[in-house]
A and B are shown apart, each in its own frame.
Chain A
Amino acid sequence: DAGITQSPRHKVTETGTPVTLRCHQTENHRYMYWYRQDPGHGLRLIHYSYGVKDTDKGEVSDGYSVSRSKTEDFLLTLESATSSQTSVYFCAIGRQGSEQYFGPGTRLTVT
């Protein structure tokens, strides 16, 4: 299995609070991704990174920001969580033209 972990694995937070999810890899992959998964929508890309300090938006980036200060860490921040951001969040790593490996996921509930 690819060395990719996510923390926390579960989180319950209140509307309006900031939340940061962490993705950590030990594979030295250049590309890292954040997806959210909701019933009926499959996996949707939030943001991705193609190197340290190099990030770009995905299809559902509103309300989210990311940072990548080291190759191994990719952080996803919800500046002010809303109930619509209740979801399962997956981090993934990959190389260009190659498969992606997914982390175990973080289940986030915003009350």
Chain B
Amino acid sequence: QQPVQSPQAVILREGEDAVINCSSSKALYSVHWYRQKHGEAPVFLMILLKGGEQKGHDKISASFNEKKQQSSLYLTASQLSYSGTYFCGTEEGYQKVTFGTGTKLQVIP
């Protein structure tokens, strides 16, 4: 069963912040986050392993609440280059990642 992402789409102005949520009904081993630009392959952003850790990369960070099977991706001070579709992928421990349907993010000047 695919994880549920919200929102499905969001439009931001440069410099604004956004949060993308991902939730699963199953116990998770890890959560992956990827970004895909139009016509390109998905690109890995970060992975969070069970243990409730939080990770950051430049102005993009993520958290993983293992007990709630939820993860959130935080984009701060958004840039035009952040535009794309963001996918979360959940892993139950068998090296099979199930992806959500994606969140389309558009950053405008």
Contacts and interface: CB of A to CB of B under 8 A. Distances in A.
A21 B88 CA distance: 26
A44 B96 CA distance: 11
Interface string A31-63: 101010000111111001010000000110000
Interface stretch (B10-18, B42-50, B73-81): B42-50
Q: Place the interface of chain B in its size category.
A: 20 to 34
A97 to B, nearest CB: 6
B83 interface: no
Given A90-B42, A102-B41, A40 B95 contact: no
10 contacts: A31-B95, A42-B102, A43-B89, A44-B2, A44-B99, A50-B95, A97-B91, A97-B95, A100-B32, A102-B41
Interface of B: 2, 29-30, 32, 40-44, 47, 49, 87, 89, 91, 95-102
Given A97-B49, A102-B42, 16 more contacts: A33-B97, A35-B99, A42-B2, A42-B87, A42-B101, A43-B87, A45-B96, A45-B97, A50-B95, A90-B42, A97-B47, A99-B44, A100-B32, A100-B89, A100-B97, A103-B41
